[in-house]
Structure 1
Amino acid sequence: MRIGIHTGYWSAGPPAGIGEAIAAADQMGVDSIWTAEAYGSDAFTPLAWWGASTRNVRLGTAVAQMSARTPTATAMAALTLDHLSDGRAILGLGASGPQVVEGWYGQPYPRPLARTREYVDIVRKVLERGAPVEYDGAFYQLPLRGEGTTGLGKALRSTVHPHRADLPIHLAAEGPKNIALAAEIADGWLPLFYTPRLDHEFRERLAEGFALRSPERSAAADFEISATVPVVVDDDVEKAADAVRPFLALYIGGMGAKSANFHRNAIDRLGYADAADEVQSLYAEGRRAEAVAAVPTALVEDIALVGPREKIAAELQRWEQTAITTLLVQGDATAVRTLAEIMR
């Protein structure tokens, strides 16, 4: 199992000290660095900036939101980054949720799985560069025809020859059907709330998708699973867990509506529905400090590595036995260094 760094969402600005941490990670042999986007910083610009000062780490988006760009625009950004980084780019895609998709990007959200399938199809056509891109789908049509158009649209092929026609595409997925879709059409899966305790269930969902995988796709044995895992090193377990609780409270209570929160649904499937009810209610009432405090330590320890070095080293053995191929550390430089030393 490899180690990567998930730089997370920006708050008011770039994460403090992240440039230095990435430079150190490149020297330490860390596998990859990953960026996120929602409705603030974008995912591609930081990778280009930070990637320019590195030589070894792979550069992944976890995730680039599909509603933020047309499929061809996303393919352009990925192939550009791949050229500039000499073949180190990984395109991680995600559907996000209706609050962001319709509220921020002004795009329709329904049928995200079918939309994802078409999106990935078009990105691959751009990267393969076999012919001018034409597509007649339920969500995307290239060239665009019909009412409100000039009728002058022309099927085009990228002027730039991609550095890699098989640039890897990974999908963020939380629901069972979406996990299976990632295994069917993508080169990797980006889970957010992974727990070794349910590794067998995740493997079953993946197996469903692998069974439908087309022959031209890379072998299932080459499929990557890069899981975001908060890591906090501290002699006091509760203090370490406190650093993770706000992250979980935000996703349970603040990401999405009560009737449509796919992150909350993922927590329910882990077995914490009652605790999630309390966190969500407190968050909705504006009692955020109480919502954070209501996140159980057991939940934190299920999806994160927190506590003294010895505890983390012992628990890491369970993670190494899972389907995960890369553990994406969400934490500070101490967390990355500690994990790297333990795994060496």
Structure 2
Amino acid sequence: MTRWGITLPLTGVPLPAHRELVERLPDLGYTDVWTAETSGTDAFSPLVLASQWSSGLRLGTAIAPVFTRGPALLAMTAAAAAECAPGRFALGIGASSPGVVRDWNAMEHTRPYARTRDTLRFLRSAFEGKAVNAQYPTFSVRGFRLERPPASPPPLLLAALRPRMLRLAADEADGAITNWLAPADVAKVRAEVGPGTELVAPVFVCLTDDARKARRLGRMMISSYLTVPAYRAFQDWLGRTEPLAAMYRAWDAGDRWRAGMAVPDEVVDDLVVHGSAEECRARIRAYTAGGLNTPVIALLPTDDGDPVAQVEALAPCRD
């Protein structure tokens, strides 16, 4: 099944003001609401609200970092969200980045692959209501049992960018969440997880006919995100080492402005969907044609656009 998701909350829209939109999303053809967790809202609060506003949407985190909550707290928070949306909540977890974990949350960001794997295995046991007494390679848990285990344990998806983590997602999780890829890149990622693994990805959409404006915003985002080591390695694996070389050189030299200016138009056009609503919907469908099960629109703010109206314009029912 091909799904069609939206990332909430929308920029500039207060959380309680999303109710009317969430109630209408299924009629517009949306199947999913997903949240991110960086420096805005936490990953769970918007989903708990949405769970009470609509019974027809799958709700998922993309992603909840495995370092910024202890294993037990992560299990409790996810179990509470699952209780609010029985059978409709999916927990996406991942390593996040040193900036979020270390610089903003004052926690160590070490052995990200192993910590993600161990958290996945712990959550499997915890959601079954078992008492967990285990020494994992990256942490230990003694005597923890969920007081309110979910009646329907949520599917677990892993944030994964390269082969090792993608294969872990295919082998032990219920799906993979990837990020910052073009439609033409999906096949390479799909080859690592196989045909039976759900593949979810945010699709960055700037709904504007002003290509210069969209590319300016895209350059800023690309130079901020893709210089993070994990994303840089992902883009190298996807084959963008040479197109992004000038950006990396400027960033490594401390020249953030020049790094943004060095991102080629063709890279922005690969990684950021922009244009009319019809053009954007067609581009999103190119992701699904390439093997992405669940595109999740991540709407980029524009000065002249009402984000709620843009969500409506991008709805699959418009095709």
TM-score tier by shorter-chain length is: 0.7 to 0.9
Of the structure 1 ranges 283-292 and 332-341, higher mean CA displacement relative to structure 2 is found in: 283-292
- Residue 163 (1) aligns with residue 151 (2): yes
Residue 342 of structure 1, CA deviation: 6.3
User: Quick one: distance in 1 between partners of 2:33 and 2:285?
Assistant: 23
Of the structure 1 ranges 312-321 and 79-88, higher mean CA displacement relative to structure 2 is found in: 312-321
CA separation of 1:8 and 1:95: change in aligned 2, threshold 3 A: farther
Letter in 2 for 1:229: V
Which residue pairs with 1:337 in the alignment? 312
User: Quick one: distance in 1 between partners of 2:39 and 2:257?
Assistant: 23
Q: Equivalences for 1:108-257 in 2 at 5 Å?
A: 108-129=108-129, 131-143=130-142, 155-165=143-153, 167-207=154-194, 221=196, 223-253=197-227, 256=228
CA separation of 1:300 and 1:317: change in aligned 2, threshold 3 A: same
CA separation of 1:317 and 1:158: change in aligned 2, threshold 3 A: closer
Q: Kindly provide the CA deviation profile for residues 52-86 of structure 1, in whole angstroms up to 9, marking residues without a partner as x.
A: 32322222111101001122211111111111223
User: Quick one: distance in 2 between partners of 1:9 and 1:111?
Assistant: 33
CA separation of 1:313 and 1:35: change in aligned 2, threshold 3 A: closer
Q: Equivalences for 1:1-344 in 2 at 5 Å?
A: 1-7=2-8, 18=18, 20-39=20-39, 41-129=41-129, 131-143=130-142, 155-165=143-153, 167-207=154-194, 221=196, 223-253=197-227, 256=228, 261-283=229-251, 287-331=255-299, 332-341=307-316, 344=319
CA separation of 1:14 and 1:299: change in aligned 2, threshold 3 A: farther
Contact 1:236 1:308 in 2 (8 A): no
User: Quick one: distance in 1 between partners of 2:246 and 2:15?
Assistant: 30
Letter in 2 for 1:336: V
How many residue pairs are counted as aligned between the two chains?
311
Q: Percent identity?
A: 29
Residue 91 of structure 1, CA deviation: 0.6
User: Quick one: distance in 2 between partners of 1:83 and 1:328?
Assistant: 23
CA separation of 1:234 and 1:22: change in aligned 2, threshold 3 A: same
User: Quick one: distance in 1 between partners of 2:92 and 2:242?
Assistant: 32
Residue 174 of structure 1, CA deviation: 1.1
Q: Kindly provide the CA deviation profile for residues 105-164 of structure 1, in whole angstroms up to 9, marking residues without a partner as x.
A: 3433332222211111111111112x3112122222221xxxxxxxxxxx2422214121
Residue 192 of structure 1, CA deviation: 0.6
Secondary structure at the aligned position of 2:4 is classed as strand
Letter in 1 for 2:137: A
Letter in 1 for 2:260: V
User: Quick one: distance in 1 between partners of 2:14 and 2:234?
Assistant: 28
CA separation of 1:273 and 1:343: change in aligned 2, threshold 3 A: farther
Q: Which runs of 5+ in 1 are unaligned?
A: 144-154, 208-219
Residue 14 of structure 1, CA deviation: 5.3
Residue 184 of structure 1, CA deviation: 1.2
Residue 288 of structure 1, CA deviation: 4.2
Letter in 2 for 1:232: C
Q: Which runs of 5+ in 2 are unaligned?
A: 300-306
Letter in 1 for 2:176: W
User: Quick one: distance in 1 between partners of 2:112 and 2:271?
Assistant: 25
Letter in 2 for 1:201: K
Letter in 2 for 1:51: S
Contact 2:125 2:132 in 1 (8 A): yes
User: Quick one: distance in 2 between partners of 1:24 and 1:342?
Assistant: 12
The Cα RMSD (Å) is 2.9
User: Quick one: distance in 1 between partners of 2:264 and 2:16?
Assistant: 28
Q: Kindly provide the CA deviation profile for residues 255-275 of structure 1, in whole angstroms up to 9, marking residues without a partner as x.
A: x4xxxx111222233333244
User: Quick one: distance in 2 between partners of 1:342 and 1:46?
Assistant: 24
Which residue pairs with 2:303 in the alignment? none
User: Quick one: distance in 2 between partners of 1:306 and 1:16?
Assistant: 28
Secondary structure at the aligned position of 2:315 is classed as helix
Secondary structure at the aligned position of 1:110 is classed as coil
CA separation of 1:333 and 1:298: change in aligned 2, threshold 3 A: farther
Q: Kindly provide the CA deviation profile for residues 263-313 of structure 1, in whole angstroms up to 9, marking residues without a partner as x.
A: 122223333324434334445666544433332221122223211345335
CA separation of 1:10 and 1:288: change in aligned 2, threshold 3 A: farther
Q: Kindly provide the CA deviation profile for residues 78-97 of structure 1, in whole angstroms up to 9, marking residues without a partner as x.
A: 11111122332111101012
If the length of structure 2 is used for normalisation, what is the TM-score?
Answer: 0.85
